[in-house]
């Protein structure tokens, strides 16, 4: 890992921050991308304090031109990342009538188009040198659906569709594509995306425990190291995805019930 260059988007908070710290501790040089410069420099500082190295690139990944320019700067000044971790994301879980067209568009811009733009920028050099890894972080919304989060669900499906398409396209090129599906993680996501938490379907905490950011980072780290195609944590979601494919009406009705229960208990 000492020679590795690892780029983490959304490194200013939550899963991305924990992932950046994880790679920093493992000896990688970590490139940190997100909008909040102060927080990003704080994460870079924490990585250095722990004996690692990091460079922060404050950027709004919603802009494709800015993303292209930053990627070109990274290529020129530091080099092509060995590992690109597309983690940055936002999006409110709201009923359709409370979701504005601008919000729906923003959820497609980040995470999906942000991940597309960065991957498009770095993949050619990875393919040319026949080595590299690209990770996508998503939620069970990529494979399941429940009420009051339709625009969020659509955006996560775009991300998963892109990742799966790339897995097929890049097979045999030496570039590994890993899709990481995480259940609920205890991060500032819910503060950053107001009025969303009440639309999280209730889940059995024993079967589907809330993950810590460090556990999420460990799952990303291990999945990328093993070049696993599909990481799912907690693993029980994998069974739910299979059930949903086989019995979509039954799973949909269970999820509707769980969503109603959650709104009842939180509202
Ligand atoms: N928390 C969960 O339960 C959970 C579960 C499964 C999957 N996920 C997914 O994991 C990813 C990370 O979530 P999290 O829980 O760590 O949330 P978080 O604490 O809110 O972190 C989101 C990160 O994305 C960055 N970001 C958002 N919009 C951006 C933009 N336009 N340009 C650049 N960076 C941007 C934020 O940085 P700035 O605000 O500084 O730009 C922040 O660093 C998201 O895609 C989320 O959907 C979360």
pTM of the full predicted structure?
A: 0.97
User: What's residue 207's pLDDT?
Assistant: 85
User: What's residue 91's pLDDT?
Assistant: 96
The stretch 5-24 carries a mean pLDDT of: 98
Residue 123 is part of a domain; what is its CATH number? 3.40.50.720
Distance CA 131, CA 250 (A): 43
Confidence of residue 62 (pLDDT cuts 50, 70, 90): very high
User: What's residue 198's pLDDT?
Assistant: 87
Evaluate whether 36 touches 42 at the Cβ level (below 8 Å).
no
User: Is the pLDDT assigned to residue 266 strictly greater than 80?
Assistant: no
How many whole angstroms from its chain centre is CA 184?
Answer: 12
Mutate which of 13, 41, 184, 190 for ligand 1? The one with the most ligand atoms within 8 Å of its CB, which is: 13
| Whether the CB of 167 sits within 6 Å of ligand 1 | no
Q: Which residue has the tokens 């090129």?
A: 173
User: What's residue 265's pLDDT?
Assistant: 73
Confidence of residue 267 (pLDDT cuts 50, 70, 90): low
Helix (H) or strand (E) holding 86: strand 83-86
| Whether the CB of 24 sits within 6 Å of ligand 1 | no
| Whether the CB of 126 sits within 6 Å of ligand 1 | no
Give the domain extent around 155: 5-266
Domain count, the chain: 1
Evaluate whether 43 touches 20 at the Cβ level (below 8 Å).
yes
pLDDT one-digit tens code per residue, 188-223: 999 999 888 888 898 888 889 999 999 999 999 999
């Amino acid at each position: 890992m000492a020679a590795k260059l690892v780029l983490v988007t959304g490194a200013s908070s939550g899963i991305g921050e924990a992932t950046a710290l994880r790679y920093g501790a493992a000896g990688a040089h970590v490139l940190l991308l997100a909008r909040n410069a102060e927080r990003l420099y704080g994460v870079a500082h924490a990585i250095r304090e722990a004996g690692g190295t990091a460079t922060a690139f404050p950027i709004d990944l919603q802009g494709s031109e800015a993303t292209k320019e930053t990627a070109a700067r990274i290529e020129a000044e530091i080099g092509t990342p060995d590992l690109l971790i597309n983690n940055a994301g936002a999006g409110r879980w709201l009923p359709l009538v409370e979701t504005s067209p601008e919000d729906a568009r923003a959820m497609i811009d980040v995470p999906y188009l942000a991940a597309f733009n960065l991957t498009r920028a770095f993949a050619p050099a990875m393919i040319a040198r026949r080595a590299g890894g690209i990770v996508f972080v998503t939620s069970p919304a990529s494979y399941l659906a429940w009420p009051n989060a339709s625009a969020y669900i659509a955006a996560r499906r775009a991300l998963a569709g892109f990742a799966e398409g790339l897995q097929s396209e890049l097979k045999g090129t030496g570039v590994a594509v890993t899709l990481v599906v995480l259940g609920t993680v205890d991060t500032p996501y819910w503060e950053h995306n107001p009025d969303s938490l009440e639309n999280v379907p209730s889940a059995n905490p024993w079967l589907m425990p809330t993950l810590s950011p460090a556990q999420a980072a460990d799952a990303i780290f291990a999945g990328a190291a093993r070049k696993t195609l599909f990481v799912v944590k907690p693993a029980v979601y994998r069974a739910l995805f299979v059930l949903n494919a086989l019995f979509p009406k039954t799973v949909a009705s269970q999820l509707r019930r769980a969503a109603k229960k959650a709104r009842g208990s939180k509202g």
